Every structure is written in structure tokens, then in C-alpha cells.
Structure 1
Amino acid sequence: MNPLITLTLGATLLACVLVVLGLQAYTAGRAQRAALIERLSATGVHDGATRGRRFRGLDRRLRTTGLGRRIEKKLAVTGLDLTPAEFLVYMLAGVAGIWLVAASFLAPFFGPVAGLIGLWAGNGFLNWQRARRTERFVNQLPDLARILANATQAGLALRTAIGMAAEELEAPAGEELARVAHRLAVGHSVEESLGEIVERLPSRELVVLVSTLVLSAKAGGAIVGSLRNLTVTMEQRKETRREIRTQLSQVTVTAYLVPVMGVGSLLLVDTIMPGALDRMTGAAIGQTAVLMAIGLFTLGFLAIRRLSKIDV
């Protein structure tokens, strides 16, 4: 037989074998992926990959950049069901809307200023969501400590007690503990798994609880008594924070009322004297005065917020 024909037949046979092996590997990978998604969804860890996502191409490119990684990290601790691309597109759309509204109702000069304020507000929204989720998690810590104490007293291991707490508690504690239980199930240590929660939702109470659990897992000791004492202490701190928040509610409202009064005064001036803002921002001295006023209002807002912040 012609050597060329033999070589061609051999190459064709090899290509067919590789195609078959490739199809088998692809099918096995799809099956493993489906099983993994089902398992993560059952444990509450899955981040919603089964839901239809928008802007997938932009999201893939955005995650490779530093900005995308920062947005992804912030979204991970807020509990929002958004991808970095979705958040970025929605935020930019909101900034564009605020820009157009400010330029239309006030003056063209206020468009870029409102856009910058919109960008700052988007980042502030993520920080507010993180603080809100952390506060909700801290309020659930007494119940978490009580469940762990009861489970430990009943003779259950710490890993089993954490899984039980993840099933009984609502979000965000249930979701965070489900992540911990999943990490423990795949071989991560207790210290590493619980330390991830401290990094995501930092608080003094959580640090104390995690330290107690880690020390008891390493060296043993009277973990039940420690957890019950922690439960009483956390309940008292919870009541103290609630009282402080009630006492400072008027100050908090004042902090948000200050910038609202500034915007309201601009609208009032433009209503009384139509075109006044256009004439004022048409000169350099007017633009400087507006920027100084915005800076002073922002400084007043931050100062009031800082004075009303009390660490307990």
C-alpha cells in the first residue's frame, strides 16, 4: 500500500479517536458542572449562576480589570444579586440620568457636578449595604451563639453545629454559615473558614465569637459555658446599640437634611428668578462660589455623621 495512503488513514483514525475522547470529556464536564451547581444551590452557596445574567461579555472582560475585581469584592459582601457588569451599567445609567436632570432643571454647569455626586453615591450605596448586612448579621449573633451552645452541649461536633445553625438561621447569618459549612465539607480548616466571615463582615462581636470557636477547636475547653456567656453579653450590646441609635436618630436626620436644604435653596432661587442659575454659573466667580458651597455642605454632612458615630 502507498505509504501516503497509510499515513492519511492513520491520521484520520487518530483524529476520530481524539474527537470521541473530546466529546466524552466535554459531556463529563457538563455533567460535573450541573452536579456542582445543584449541590451549591442545595447548600445556599450558589450565587445565582443559574439565573439569566445580562451583559455577560462585558462582565467577563470587566472581571479581568482592577476595577471589576474591586466591584466584585464589594458586591460579595453586600448580598446583592448582581454581577460587576450589571452594577456598573446600572450605576452609569443612573449617573447619566442624574446628569441630564440636573442640567435640565438647574443649569448645564450642574450636570458634571451631579454626575460626580452620582458616582460617589454609587460607592456609598455599596458601603451602606455592607454596613446594613453586617448590622443584621451582628443582631443574629446571640441566636447563633445560643444554637452553637445547645448543639455542642448535646454532643454534636462543631462542624455539625455550624451546619445546623446555617439551616435554622435566616439570611445573612444563614447564608454566611452555609458558605462556612461548605468550605468545611471540602476540607478547609475551622480557622480559615470562620476567618473568611470576619474579613467579609468585620465586627467586634464576631471576632470574639470566632476566636472562641477557633480556640475551642484547637485546645478544647468549656466551650458551652463560654458561648452562653457570649450570648448574654451580645444581647446586652444589642440593646445598647438600639438605644444609642434611637438617641441619635434626630442627628442622623439632620445630617441628611443639610444637603437637601442646599439643593432646595437652588431650586427656590431658580423658581423665583428664572435663569438666575444660568447667569450665576456663566462666570468663573459664580462657578467657584457654587463649588465652595457644595464643598461646605459636604463637609457639614461628613462632620455631623462623624460626630454621631459612636462605637459600642
Structure 2
Amino acid sequence: MTTPVLLTLAATLLACALLVLGLHSYAGGRSQRAALLERLSASGEPEPAGRRRRFRTLDRRLRRTALGRRIELKLATTGLDLTPGEFFAYMTAAVAALWLVAAALLAPFFGPVAGLTGLWSANAFLNWQRARRTERFINQLPDLARILANATQAGLALRTAIGIAAEELDAPAGEELGRVTHRLALGHSIEESLGELADRLPSRELSVLVSTLVLSARAGGAIVGSLRNLTVTLEQRKETRREVRTQLSQVTVTAYLMPFIGLGSLLMVDAMMPGALARMTGGFIGQVAVLVALGLFALGFVAIRRLSKIEV
């Protein structure tokens, strides 16, 4: 072979070797990036350990969208052991099932109505879970303030006191304070970490406690006396909230019974006169009448919930 041919072959082999190395490095970089994205969510926290996660591909694609980020933010405030992809898949399956069941049992017109109701119910479930978790956290605030006061009185720093409270308290306070401790270990300030906790579980009691801790950490002062007084106040507010919730329990049950009364009426009509709902929703006037009736039931539910909502 001549010299130009040998040089050409050598250059070709070198280019192929570099191409293989480049593809190998590119594939390794993509796998490392995917693993990093799985470990670090938008909130900067590691993925929860435990069971094997499902719908990983859907979860990765969903997190890149605005809808996925909103779902992830809501799930972070509920404490549910679900990823955005899992919640979206389960919600889609439930909506499809409700659509098919309503269309089969009642009439085809009620399929989309049941689907929209399923979407609203999924969002309402997240809001209810968040309110329930916030309520449980508020009930633990007196114990949290007491532990912080005792630890501070013993001469420990506020960061160390928060870590002790995270180990001593049960969920959800222990889990939430564990997140705060994790962010403090990563170098975030106390004000930023506690402020994120107050945004995640909004309540007046937690806002007062966070303000007390932040001001004490920033300007100093008698933090032990402040926490002692705050503990007594939180205990009194806890009892007041329990009394108010007991007084309004009957009104709350009435609000939730109204939609079921409407659904029961539809099932009764269809049982007494088979095919009546299909004939009623077969025309435009019947569809409008059904939608107006459903809207009135929804309006009654919202009105009762608004009137019975008392901020303490």
C-alpha cells in the first residue's frame, strides 16, 4: 500500500475510535444526568426511599411541564408517597373508570360530567390531604415549641435544637423538620429553610413560631421565654380549634351529603323508569336542565362550606 492509503486508513480508524469513545462518554453523561434528576427534585431534596417507583418515564417527562411542577408542589405538601407520574397515571385511570361507569349506569351524557368530577375530586383530595396534614402539624406545634425551648435553655444552638425536634417528634412534624435540617446541612439559612416550611404548610400558628425563631436567630433575645409563652398560647388555640370543629361537624356532614342526594335521586329515577335518563339527556333542553341542577348542587355545597369555615 502507498503512504496516502495508509494515512487514510489510520485516520479512519482513529476517527472511528474517537467516535466510539465520544458515544460512550455521551451515554454515560446522559445516564448520570438522569440519575441526578431523579435524586434531586425541584425542591432540592432526595427522592424518597422505599418501594420501587412506577411510571419513571412518564414522571421524568411530566416534571418538565408546568402541570407536573404544580402536581409535584402539591404532593410535597401532602406527605403522600407518590411521584407526579404515579399520581397522574392513577388519576387518569380513575377518571376513565368513572367516565365508563357513569355512561353505562346512567346515560352517555353523564360520562364527561363524571370525568370532570373525577378531575375536581383528585384536586380536592390533594387539598384535603394538605389541610389534614397541616392540622396534624398544628396539633404538634406546642410539643415542638416545648422541645425547642428546652433545647435552647440547655445551651444548644437553634440548628441543633431543630435536629433534635426532628428526631423526637412523629410525622408530620418530624418529617417536615427533617427537611428543614436537610436544607440547613446543605448551607441554606434558617430564615430561608423555615420560610419554605411556612409556605408548605400555611397556618397562623406556624407563621408566629417561624417569625419568633427567625427574629431570635437574627437579632438574639430571650428566645426561651418567648417559646414558653408561645407554647401556652398554642395549647389554648389547639383547644379552641377542637371546640369549633366539633360545633361545625353537623354542618360539614350536611355539605357533603348534598351531592350524594342528587346522585341518589338520579339513580332512583333511572331504577323506577329504566332509560329515563337517556331520554331526558337526549335533547338540548334536558341536558341544560341536568347541568343547571348539577350546578345548583355544587353551588349549595360551596356555599355551605364557605359559611361554615371559621378562622380561629
Task: Give, in whole Å, the separation in 2 of the partners of 1:126 and 1:84.
Answer: 12
Q: Comparing 227-236 with 177-186, which one deviates more in the overlay?
A: 177-186
Task: Give, in whole Å, the separation in 1 of the partners of 2:308 and 2:159.
Answer: 40
Q: For residue 283 of structure 1, report the CA deviation from its aligned partner.
A: 1.3
Runs of 4+ in structure 1 over 6 Å off: 2-20
Counterpart code for 1:98 = L
Task: Give, in whole Å, the separation in 2 of the partners of 1:159 and 1:14.
Answer: 56
Q: For residue 54 of structure 1, report the CA deviation from its aligned partner.
A: 1.2
Q: For residue 130 of structure 1, report the CA deviation from its aligned partner.
A: 0.8
User: Which residue of structure 2 lines up, in the alignment, with residue 160 of structure 1?
Assistant: 160
Alignment of 1:119-138 (within 5 A): 119-138=119-138
User: Which residue of structure 2 lines up, in the alignment, with residue 252 of structure 1?
Assistant: 252
Task: Give, in whole Å, the separation in 2 of the partners of 1:294 and 1:173.
Answer: 40
CA deviations 1:217-261 (Å, max 9, x no partner) are 111100000001000000000000000000000000000111111
* Aligned CA distance change for structure 1 residues 283 and 148 (closer, same or farther; 3 Å): same
Task: Give, in whole Å, the separation in 1 of the partners of 2:11 and 2:280.
Answer: 84
User: Which residue of structure 2 lines up, in the alignment, with residue 282 of structure 1?
Assistant: 282
Q: Is there any run of 5+ residues in structure 1 with no aligned partner, and where?
A: none
Task: Give, in whole Å, the separation in 2 of the partners of 1:156 and 1:149.
Answer: 10
Q: For residue 52 of structure 1, report the CA deviation from its aligned partner.
A: 1.5
Q: For residue 60 of structure 1, report the CA deviation from its aligned partner.
A: 1.2
User: Which residue of structure 2 lines up, in the alignment, with residue 294 of structure 1?
Assistant: 294
Q: Is there any run of 5+ residues in structure 2 with no aligned partner, and where?
A: none
* Aligned CA distance change for structure 1 residues 227 and 276 (closer, same or farther; 3 Å): same
User: Which residue of structure 2 lines up, in the alignment, with residue 98 of structure 1?
Assistant: 98
Answer yes or no: is the 8 Å Cα contact 1:72–1:83 preserved in 2: yes
The percent of aligned pairs where both chains have the same amino acid is 74
| Structure 2 residue 240 is the aligned partner of structure 1 residue 240 | yes
Task: Give, in whole Å, the separation in 2 of the partners of 1:18 and 1:211.
Answer: 58
Task: Give, in whole Å, the separation in 1 of the partners of 2:97 and 2:186.
Answer: 46
Task: Give, in whole Å, the separation in 2 of the partners of 1:60 and 1:145.
Answer: 39
Answer yes or no: is the 8 Å Cα contact 1:141–1:206 preserved in 2: yes
Task: Give, in whole Å, the separation in 1 of the partners of 2:24 and 2:275.
Answer: 70
| Structure 2 residue 76 is the aligned partner of structure 1 residue 70 | no
Secondary structure of 2:126's partner? helix
User: Which residue of structure 2 lines up, in the alignment, with residue 86 of structure 1?
Assistant: 86
User: Which residue of structure 2 lines up, in the alignment, with residue 112 of structure 1?
Assistant: 112
Q: For residue 47 of structure 1, report the CA deviation from its aligned partner.
A: 3.2
Task: Give, in whole Å, the separation in 1 of the partners of 2:15 and 2:217.
Answer: 55
* Aligned CA distance change for structure 1 residues 295 and 9 (closer, same or farther; 3 Å): same
Answer yes or no: is the 8 Å Cα contact 1:47–1:81 preserved in 2: no
Q: Comparing 3-12 with 142-151, which one deviates more in the overlay?
A: 3-12
Q: For residue 7 of structure 1, report the CA deviation from its aligned partner.
A: 9.9
| Structure 2 residue 293 is the aligned partner of structure 1 residue 307 | no
Q: For residue 69 of structure 1, report the CA deviation from its aligned partner.
A: 1.1
Answer yes or no: is the 8 Å Cα contact 1:148–1:227 preserved in 2: yes
CA deviations 1:69-110 (Å, max 9, x no partner) are 111111111111111111111001101111111111111111
Counterpart code for 1:64 = R
Q: For residue 48 of structure 1, report the CA deviation from its aligned partner.
A: 2.1
What CA RMSD, in Å, does the superposition of the two structures yield over aligned residues? 3.1
